[in-house]
Chains A and B, each alone.
Chain A
Amino acid sequence: AQSVAQPEDQVNVAEGNPLTVKCTYSVSGNPYLFWYVQYPNRGLQFLLKYITGDNLVKGSYGFEAEFNKSQTSFHLKKPSALVSDSALYFCAVRDETGGSYIPTFGRGTSLIVHP
């Protein structure tokens, strides 16, 4: 079975400050991990993914995420937040060895960046 948790419903950060959006996962095998962003009344947009290799993954719009196997976490980060980063962020996981091509999504974290 695979599952993902986003422990924060909302994250507030001031513009220019670093931001972190948390995600933890559970899989039986090796994880494929994804971050997506959703702007109001829009579909989800792919940001970045971890497959294997470097634990620090870089993605779109200056976002990066750090894979931590021992803590089963894949937190999304950005060194300097912009007001335009305000959106819903979803973490997703798929078990590489599970035989299913369907990822499980978290409930989402609302990121609010204050001017």
Chain B
Amino acid sequence: DTGVSQDPRHKITKRGQNVTFRCDPISEHNRLYWYRQTLGQGPEFLTYFQNEAQLEKSRLLSDRFSAERPKGSFSTLEIQRTEQGDSAMYLCASSSSRPNPQGVTDHSYEQYFGPGTRLTVT
């Protein structure tokens, strides 16, 4: 397994168009997260899945944004009727809990990020 992958890496679209991004997490990870990052800021949480269930959504996630993880593996993030303010880097991350060699499960869930999709809305 080579880590979290995202496709496409770059997307340029005109205002008003719809775009869809894909994320493939690390295969054994059951948790998947979407973030948005703009210049000079840290990642801002958008939404989170545990397996196929979408468990949390940020208030940042307007009605134009929708995310799915239909089989608990890859996920898609769709933005409808894009606006110039949607221009950002969209990051996907995955995590899981697993026992250490002593059999104790670590619930810290450090995240492993993909390379991101840079969206430019013109």
Residues of A within 8 A of B (CB): 32, 34, 36, 41-46, 49, 51, 90, 92, 94, 96, 100-108
Taken together as a complex, chains A and B put the C-alpha atoms of A49 and B112 apart, in Å, by 13
Q: Is the CB of B108 within 8 A of A90?
A: no
Residues of B within 8 A of A (CB): 4, 6, 31, 33, 40-45, 48, 50, 56, 91, 93, 95, 106-116, 118
Q: Is the CB of B41 within 8 A of A108?
A: yes
Shortest distance from the beta carbon of B45 to any chain A beta carbon, whole Å: 5
> Can you name the residue of chain A whose Cβ is closest to the Cβ of B10?
A41
The number of A-B residue pairs with CB atoms under 8 Å apart is 62
Taken together as a complex, chains A and B put the C-alpha atoms of A83 and B116 apart, in Å, by 25
CB contacts (< 8 Å) of A102 on chain B: these are: 33, 45, 48, 56
> Can you name the residue of chain B whose Cβ is closest to the Cβ of A50?
B108
